[in-house]
Amino acid sequence: MNNSCRDCGQSGECRLPPGMLEQYDLGTPTADGLMIWLEVSRHAGVFLESSSLEILSKAREIYDGRIFGVVFGDIELKPLYAEAFSYGVDTLYHVKDRRLIDFHPEAYCESMKEIAERINPSIILMGATPRGRETAPRLAASLGAGLTADCTELSIEGTVLRMTRPAFGGSLMAEIVSNSVPQMATVRPGTFPLKKASGNTAGTVIYRQYGGNSFKTIIGSEKRYSDEKDITEAKILVSLGSGIRNREAICIAESVAKKLGGMVSCSRTLVDKGWFPQIKQVGQSGRNVSPEIYLAFGISGSIQHKAGIMTARKIIAINKDPDAPIKDIADEMIIGDAESILKELDRIL
């Protein structure tokens, strides 16, 4: 008796009933839907973080399927539903628990895992923010998925998410695809422009309870720096490097930044000198920034520094050396003494 399957020809019994192989491609994941964690900011009011809305804007542009948003908190989040829907969320999972107003990475991760197992998304995205960086790897590990961190471009081809991110210290851009499902990525804040999907402010909200107990008791917290905004949020950065010789120039840079509505940042050398706190450092071991304009005063453009400014919209370098490596990525080079030009700019403004 011939024991081979009449559909696939293999010996023994196939796991699927005859005929099914014609309809299903076993190599293609059946997961569908895109899930985004919408981070909530609670500084000066309660609102959705722009980093999350940026990802949502991009997701809606490249993805036709259902988009699921996830938020954590209590009833104070209700006014945010309309904004989530207007940016393209179809279904919003609200994990409603007062205890989750504070960030508890383990609890957030457990909740997102439960939701992911329920909706079986093909893609999960979140911001490469401090909270996103802490949560995404936990979630990826618990789902047995790969994770591409810190992406600066996303596109979709069929069911495949193509994720682009700087590699080798920013010297090249790598396009990465995942061989596991869900395909997971974190996205660098400030990478994509905000774009509302429609005037639609309605959608489905599903409340969920967090049943676990993965909480840490926070016994105290301390601000490492002032209440000033993070440099990653600045639209204009006046950035100083070791071409600046006098510490007084920092006051002038602050004055220029204020007049332009921006902030001051720096290269690592000035952090090492003790002139700036590390939170102001741009680059591979500092912050990745995406301002509209990045003014680099006396910064050479090392690989490590460039890695942090790859997504700046416009780079203007002020340097006495016309061949400084920053010229490769600068939109404009102004050749001259950094401090004199800074002073002159302050005077003109």
Ligand X SMILES: Cc1cc2nc3c(=O)[nH]c(=O)nc-3n(C[C@H](O)[C@H](O)[C@H](O)COP(=O)(O)OP(=O)(O)OC[C@H]3O[C@@H](n4cnc5c(N)ncnc54)[C@H](O)[C@@H]3O)c2cc1C
Beta bridge partners of 240: 266, 297
How far apart are CB 294 and ligand X at their closest, in Å? 12
Is 241 a binding residue for ligand X by CB under 6 A? The answer is yes
Q: Which of 108, 163, 155 is nearest to 132 (CA)?
A: 108
Q: In this structure, what are the phi and psi dihedrals at residue 263, rounded to the nearest 5 degrees?
A: -140, 165
Q: Which is nearer to ligand X, 49 or 339 (CB)?
A: 339
Is 265 a binding residue for ligand X by CB under 6 A? The answer is no
CA-CA distance, 332 to 335, in Å (whole number)?
10
CA-CA distance, 182 to 124, in Å (whole number)?
6
What's the maximum distance between 2 C-alpha atoms anywhere in the chain? 95
Which amino acid belongs to residue 281? Q
Q: Which is nearer to ligand X, 163 or 270 (CB)?
A: 270
Interface with ligand X (CB under 6 A), residue from 41, 50, 242, 278: 242
Q: Which is nearer to ligand X, 145 or 266 (CB)?
A: 266
How far apart are CB 327 and ligand X at their closest, in Å? 10
DSSP letters spanning 201-242: ---EEEEE---------------SS-SPPPGGG-SEEEEE-T
The interface mask with ligand X, positions 283-312, x = CB under 6 A, is xxxx-----------xxx-x-xx--x----
Is 148 a binding residue for ligand X by CB under 6 A? The answer is no
Q: Which is nearer to ligand X, 89 or 240 (CB)?
A: 240
The interface mask with ligand X, positions 309-338, x = CB under 6 A, is ----------xxx--x------------xx
Alpha helix (H) residue ranges in 11-129: 20-23, 50-62, 81-86, 105-119
How far apart are CB 4 and ligand X at their closest, in Å? 59
Is 166 a binding residue for ligand X by CB under 6 A? The answer is no
**Beta-sheet pairing, 172-176 with 153-157:** unpaired
Is 58 a binding residue for ligand X by CB under 6 A? The answer is no
Which residues contribute to the site for ligand X (CB under 6 A)? 241-243, 267-269, 281-286, 298-300, 302, 304-305, 308, 319-321, 324, 337-338
